[in-house]
Amino acid sequence: MNRLAIFDCDGTLVDSQINICRSVEQAFAAHRIAPPPRVAIRRIVGLSLIEAMAVLLPEAQADDHIRLAETYKHIFSTLRANGGLAEEPLFDGVAEALDVLEAEGWLLGVATGKSDRGLAHILATHGLSARFVTLQTADRHPSKPHPSMLEAAIAEAGAAPDTSVMIGDTSFDMAMARAAGTRAVGVAWGYHARDELTAAGAHAIAETAAHLAPCMEAA
C-alpha cells in the first residue's frame, strides 16, 4: 500500500497571508462593512470561502456570505491579473523537505481550501506542479474539516488511511485528518498556535520543515 503525505497549501507550503488579508479587507469594504482585524482573518485561512465569511461575519445571512465570497474571488483574481499581489513564497526548507519525503518513498498530495485555479498558479510559480500525485481543492469538496478531500486523495493515490498523513498549520487540518482516520502532523510556522493543533488532534508538531520527515515516522 502506498504511503501518502498530504499537504495543506496556505500557511503550510506557502506564506499567503498578506494577499488573503488584503483581499478580505477589500471585499468587506466593497460591501461597506468594517473589515475584521487581520488576526481574525489569519484564523480562517484553510476554510472554503463561504465558510470563512460566515466565521468572519456570523451575524450576516447566508446570502451575504455568498456575496462576500464572490467579491473576494473577483478582487483576488483582479489583483493577480494586474500584478497587485505580493509574492507568496515557499516557507523555508519546504522544497528540501519534499525532496526528502519523496526519497523516502512517500507520494505527495495537496488538500486545500484554495480553488483549482489558485492552487495550480501557486504550484506552477514554484515549479512544483509535477511533484504531487493528487490535488484536492474547495472546487470539488466541502470545506475542511469535512474528510472528503482526504478520502478522495487517498483513493486517487492508492493509499489507505493508516498509510497517509495530513500535514497542515490549522486546527481545521488536524480535525479533517481525524475525521478521515489518517495521522495528523501540525506545522509550527503557520497560522494557528501549536496548542490549538495539539488540541485538534495533531499526533506530532514539526517545528521546522527539516523536522517534517522525523515527525512523519513518529506520528
Catalytic residue set: 8, 10
Q: Which three cell numbers stand for residue 46?
A: 484553510
In contact, 65 and 48? CB cutoff 8 Å: no
CB-based contacts of 76, cutoff 8 Å, min separation 6: 19, 23, 85, 118
In contact, 188 and 205? CB cutoff 8 Å: yes
**Residue 164 — φ and ψ, nearest 5°?**
-120, 150
In contact, 191 and 42? CB cutoff 8 Å: yes
